[in-house]
A = this chain, B = another copy of it.
Amino acid sequence: MADLELMHALSQPNDTKMVLLVLDGLGGLPMQPGGPTELEAARTPQLDRLAAEGVLGQIIPILRGITPGSGPAHLALFGYDPLVHQAGRGVLEANGVGLLVGAADVAARGNFCTLDATGRVSDRRAGRISSKIAVPLVERLSAVNVPSAEIEIRHVKEYRFAMVMRGAGLHADIADTDPQQTGVPLLAAVAHSDGAQHTAALFNQWIEAARPVLSDQAAANMFTLRGFSSDPQLPSFEQLYSLNAACIATYPMYLGVARLAGMQPLLSGDTPEKQFTTLRAARADYDFVFVHIKSTDSRGEDGDFDGKVAVIEALDRALPQLLECRPDVLVVTGDHSTPARMRAHSWHPVPLLLWAPETVRPDAAAAFGEDTCASGGLGTFAATDLLALMLAHAGRLCKYGP
């Protein structure tokens, strides 16, 4: 928290506008020796122009060699040390669909699943049932209660839902009920520590009470609970920097992590054009807007190099609409790398572009890619340092010391 205290102490008001554009899983790898990465293969005249006018660098999401999940990777982009502040999947998902998770509450993420006649898991995602089928099932679960706690539950997407338990003496230190494989029974909610015994018992009680209400279903006849977690109680952008901050994201989890920083979620369609339309409308009301593009990561996880290239090119074509907002500071980066070659998140450094016409010291780079970023003027640095750079270029940090 030491760096946050410093940044808080130095923060000063301004009327500048900042945009943090995160292309999820942006960093890539060549498919064959000597080849380009996804970002290098993409035709990106807009990004290349911004690279020429701005300055490049590389960020390390957590530590060198550590592959981040999206939660800690975004906390780092927002300036919070992800090794100090942990946000579980439950609270991210619950926050993302607008469930209020208080400091004393316990949130979890739920997946509908299929049990066979012997009670063993035959499909961990219930055949990926549609939202249309899942929504009424979530409504049924909403009616299930336990005596000494309040439970709220909300549908997320397809086979996924989020829930929060509110009550006295709750503790989130509980293992997932998902056995992570098929052909075995579900696990009970097991407390990792004595303090969580009571909470685990309440969850198990609720799970057993909920079982009958799904028994008529062929596919979604049960569910798993994962990522039991409480709100990490981060100081917000408002508290730290007096910033009105907003988030434009189409996936609940990213709305969830942005909410942890006190960002206001803004409704938007799910193309870059629609997101940038929302951004333009938000300009007057917000100092800092985090825009999240998911499909770079999705295509990377699919192993679809060309698909990831196409997503980046489509984003590039839409960029003029973002620039119409005339941000004073624009950062384009990723939360981590998701090379199509690896079909997974990776630890590789993430390309970073900082554009701030009034204050940037441009480097020699004239294109946005892994190679140019590796030799960029900002060097290679911890993602947690990025926000201070943005605030500085926005004239929102005053001098330290006499």
Contacts and interface: CB of A to CB of B under 8 A. Distances in A.
Interface string A62-82: 111111111111000000001
B83 A388 contact: no
A325 B207 CA distance: 53
A63 B6 contact: yes
B3 A63 contact: yes
A301 interface: no
A381 interface: yes
A227 interface: yes
Interface of A (DSSP majority class): loop
Contact of A379 (B71, B83, B349): B349
Contact of A397 (B6, B66, B390): B66
Nearest to A34: B362
B400 A72 contact: yes
The 5 closest A-B pairs by CB, nearest first: A379-B380, A65-B388, A89-B402, A72-B401, A65-B392
Contacts of A67: 392, 397-400
Tell me how many chains of this kind the complex includes. 2
Given A53-B33, A362-B33, A6 B83 contact: yes
Interface residues of A, number: 70
Interface in A371-402: 371, 374-381, 385-393, 397-402
B379 A58 contact: yes
Interface string A11-27: 00000000000000001
A374 B371 contact: no
A293 B266 CA distance: 52
A34 B366 CA distance: 11
Contacts of A37: 361
Q: Select the residue from A89, A360, A399 with max chain B CB neighbours within 10 A.
A: A399
Contacts of A71: 401-402
A200 interface: no
A67 B63 CA distance: 24
A106 to B, nearest CB: 15
A86 B33 contact: no
A53 B348 CA distance: 16
Contacts of A65: 385, 387-393, 397
A258 to B, nearest CB: 15
A130 interface: no
A368 to B, nearest CB: 15
B388 A30 contact: no
A70 B58 CA distance: 28
Contact of A66 (B10, B376, B377): B10
Nearest to A253: B402
B364 A371 contact: yes
A346 interface: yes
A379 B379 contact: yes
A359 B69 contact: no
Contacts of A82: 400-401
A88 interface: yes
A83 B393 CA distance: 21
Contact of A375 (B27, B69, B87, B375): B375
Nearest to A64: B385
Contacts of A178: none
A2 interface: yes
